[in-house]
């Protein structure tokens, strides 16, 4: 239906909607996060749910203690290599539709521990991430912004057609390989289905941009 | 108490032990005692129970890796050159390192003394990495010795529960050793240099390098 016509009707007291709109509205307004934190980002996540920032305004106040009841995984903090299999296992145990917010520098890329031997260089190596929030740690406002961004993303999803989300496409996997502890590193070191190294030739990258000669 | 007196006390009370002073040339002048591994436990026991020292608190356990390092020094010697005696610079090469070291920081709460810093060295970095565990004397050393074992590979004999602490069971490397090679989980680095740049180059195909 034409957007203009819809708003015109709404002004006259007639509400017209579509199943897709209702479906997406329902899901985006009751995102239940999984109740787990990994490091200092979790403190900011807790602060976000408390009275001052009040995440309940967005329908996300019920942090679930079980992955079976959660829609959203907030990876809040440093994912060590020892912790990574558990995080992926929790993600696999969540029912579809499920979303991931990668919160903070460590969850995105390993952050200050990137060159270390014990920290995973970003949770997106094993599970698909919907929203990244940079920061060390990100402020509650940033987490709320990520929430709103995720809500907009859910709102824009089409229920049919080739662009339909993963949980409506039977051919797409909803479980991802759980890494195992190897002799030198996690096996496999990343899941090629969701992540591949962004190979960039540093010597030519950026040369074509103005001001870089 | 002066560290020199502690050293004399140890030598007087623990027969047969070899104790060396390791001098710290920095302004802090925190000198330490190097104890031979064979008498390490007896020395530690004396430090804890000896009436004059009573080091009842072990605050810190540290590991250090000393890989083999070649040091060349120039030595001036007199040599006969063409029948005339001359001063000639000669380069003498010596090796240092090639062992793992564990450092204990001991305090006496009862005597308000400390720290007394005790070092022990392993024979080498491969098979002879055994040192006596001091956990039976100071319980606070338990996790720290486990950590030193985990990251440096020092085997503590007599430790009640010597397992890996930070890395997982089945991990084979010791990541804090100088010769540890970390797994090649490369990704784009905007400011790659040296080793990282070298690795980056290895990942580029011929296509990328055009």
ipTM for the assembly: 0.76
Question: What pairs with residue A133 in β-bridges?
Answer: A103
- pLDDT score, position B146: 94
Instruction: Give the distance from residue A103's alpha carbon to the nearest chain B alpha carbon, in angstroms.
Output: 20
More confident residue, A33 or B210: A33
> Which two three-digit tokens encode residue A138?
């990100």
- pLDDT score, position A213: 43
Q: At what angle do helices A19-28 and A140-155 cross, to 10 degrees?
A: 160
- pLDDT score, position B32: 92
Per the CB < 8 Å rule, is A184 touching B170?
Answer: no
- pLDDT score, position B208: 56
A130: exposed, middle or buried (C-beta count within 10 Å: 0-12, 13-18, 19+)?
middle
Is residue B199's pLDDT more than 80? no
Q: Tell me the per-residue pLDDT of A142-177, one tens digit each, with 9 for 90 and over.
A: 999 999 999 999 998 888 888 888 888 888 888 899
Give A5's contacts (C-beta < 8 A, 6+ positions apart). Answer: none
Mean confidence (pLDDT) of chain A: 87
Is residue A202's pLDDT more than 60? no
Cα–Cα dist B160/A105, whole Å: 38
- pLDDT score, position A211: 53
Q: Tell me the per-residue pLDDT of B142-153, one tens digit each, with 9 for 90 and over.
A: 999 999 999 999
B182 touches chain A (CB under 8 A): yes
- pLDDT score, position A41: 92
Asked whether A99 and A73 are in contact (CB, 8 A), the reply is yes
Question: What pLDDT band is residue B65 in, cutting at 50, 70 and 90?
Answer: very high
Percentage above 90 pLDDT, chain B: 49
Asked whether A123 and A87 are in contact (CB, 8 A), the reply is yes
B178 touches chain A (CB under 8 A): no
Is residue A206's pLDDT more than 70? no
Considering CB atoms only, which of B185, B197, B208 is closest to A121?
B185
Question: What pairs with residue B65 in β-bridges?
Answer: B100
Would the CA dihedral through B136, B138, B143, B146 be positive or negative? negative
Q: Give the pairing type, strands B155-157 and B99-108.
A: unpaired
Q: Which pTM does this prediction carry?
A: 0.82
Mean confidence (pLDDT) of chain B: 87
Q: A-chain residues within 8 Å CB-CB of B171?
A: 181, 183-184
């Amino acid at each position: 239906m034409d957007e203009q016509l819809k708003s015109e009707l709404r002004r006259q007291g007639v509400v017209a909607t579509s199943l897709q709109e209702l479906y997406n509205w329902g899901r985006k307004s009751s995102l239940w996060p999984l109740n787990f934190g990994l490091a200092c980002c979790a403190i900011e996540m807790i602060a976000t749910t408390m009275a001052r920032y009040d995440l309940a305004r967005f329908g996300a106040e019920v942090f679930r203690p079980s992955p079976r009841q959660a829609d959203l995984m907030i990876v809040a903090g440093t994912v060590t290599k020892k912790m990574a299999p558990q995080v992926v296992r929790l993600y696999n145990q969540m029912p579809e539709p499920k979303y991931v917010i990668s919160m903070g520098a460590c969850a995105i890329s390993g952050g200050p521990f990137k060159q270390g031997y014990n920290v995973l260089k970003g949770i997106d190596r094993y599970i698909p991430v919907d929203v990244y929030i940079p920061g060390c740690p990100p402020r509650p406002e940033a987490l709320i912004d990520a929430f709103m961004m995720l809500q907009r993303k859910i709102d824009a999803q089409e229920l049919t057609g080739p662009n339909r989300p993963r949980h409506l496409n039977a051919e797409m996997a909803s479980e991802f390989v759980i890494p195992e502890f190897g002799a030198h590193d996690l096996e496999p070191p990343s899941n090629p289905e969701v992540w591949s190294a962004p190979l960039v030739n540093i010597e030519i990258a950026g040369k074509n941009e103005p001001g870089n000669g | 108490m002066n560290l020199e007196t502690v050293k004399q006390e140890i030598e007087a009370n623990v027969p047969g032990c070899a104790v060396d002073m390791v001098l710290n040339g920095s302004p802090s002048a925190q000198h330490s005692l190097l104890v031979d591994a064979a008498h390490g436990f007896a020395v530690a026991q004396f430090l804890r129970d000896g009436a004059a020292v009573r080091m009842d608190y072990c605050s810190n356990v540290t590991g250090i890796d000393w890989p083999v390092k070649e040091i060349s020094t120039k030595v001036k010697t007199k040599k006969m050159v063409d029948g005339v005696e001359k001063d000639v610079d000669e380069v003498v090469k010596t090796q240092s390192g090639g062992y793992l070291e564990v450092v204990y920081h001991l305090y006496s709460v009862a005597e308000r003394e400390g720290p007394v810093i005790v070092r022990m060295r392993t024979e080498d970095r491969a098979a002879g990495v055994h040192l006596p565990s001091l956990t039976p004397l100071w319980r606070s050393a338990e996790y720290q010795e486990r950590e030193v074992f985990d990251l440096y590979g020092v085997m503590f004999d007599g430790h009640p529960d010597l397992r890996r602490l930070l890395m997982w069971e089945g991990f084979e490397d010791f990541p804090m050793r100088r010769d540890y090679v970390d797994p090649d989980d490369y990704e784009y680095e905007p400011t790659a240099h040296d080793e990282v740049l070298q690795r980056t180059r290895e990942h580029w195909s011929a296509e990328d390098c055009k």
